[in-house]
Amino acid sequence: MSVLSILEFPDPRLRIKAEPVTVFDATLKQFADDMFETMYAANGVGLAATQVNVHKRVLVADMSEERNQPLALINAEILEKDGTQVYQEGCLSFPGIYADVTRALKVKVRAQDVEGRTFEREVEGPLAVCIQHEMDHLVGKVFVDYLSPLKRSILLKRMEKQRKQVASA
C-alpha cells in the first residue's frame, strides 16, 4: 500500500468529472487500499478518487473512531434522499477549512464493491454527509460551492493565508 498525493483547491483537476469503473481487478483493489491508507494518513473520514487525480467513480469512507469500518463505494448513485441536516464539513483538498453545509439527513445509495458486486445501503447522519460530499467530488463539485460567494471568498482567503504561513515557516 502507498499514500497518494492529495490535490488541493484550486487545482483544476478537482473539477474533472469521473468516469464509471468498468474493470474490477487487482489494480482496483490496490487503488482502494491506497485510498484508505491515504485517507487514514491524512486523518480524513472520506476520500474520492478525483482528490488523488484518478478520475474514476471510486470513493472510500470510514467514520468510525477505531478506523475499522472501511467502506468502498464504486460507481455509487443516490437512489433516495430524505430530510435535511446542517453539518460542519471539512475536506482534505481544503486543509484547515470548515463550513456548515446543508445536505440530506438520510440517503439510500446503490454501489458496487471492489469485486463488482452491487449492493444498496441506507445511511444517515455524518456518514450520509460524507458520502454526499465524496460523490460531489466525482462530478467536479466541492463543498465550498454550496456557500454564498462572500462566505466562500472569506474561507478561500483564509486558506491562502494559511498556505503562505506554512510556506514561509
Catalytic residues: 134
Note down pLDDT in tens along the chain; length 169 residues: 799 999 999 999 999 999 999 999 999 999 999 999 999 999 999 999 999 999 999 999 999 999 999 999 999 999 999 999 999 999 999 998 999 999 999 999 999 999 999 999 999 999 999 999 999 999 999 999 999 999 999 999 999 998 888 888 7
pLDDT on residue 169: 78
pTM of the predicted model as reported, rounded to 2 decimal places: 0.95
Cell digits of residue 86: 446542517
What number of H helices and E strands is found in the chain? Answer: 3, 7
pLDDT on residue 167: 86
Domains, the chain, with CATH or none: 12-168 (3.90.45.10)
pLDDT on residue 24: 98
Is-contact 9 142, C-beta < 8 A? yes
pLDDT on residue 18: 98
How far separated are the first and last CA of the chain, in Å rounded? 31
Count the neighbouring beta carbons within 10 Å of the beta carbon of residue 52.
Answer: 22
Is-contact 138 48, C-beta < 8 A? yes
Separation between Cα atoms, residue 158 and residue 169, nearest integer Å = 17
Looking only at the bridges linking them, the beta strands covering 106-112 and 46-48 are: unpaired
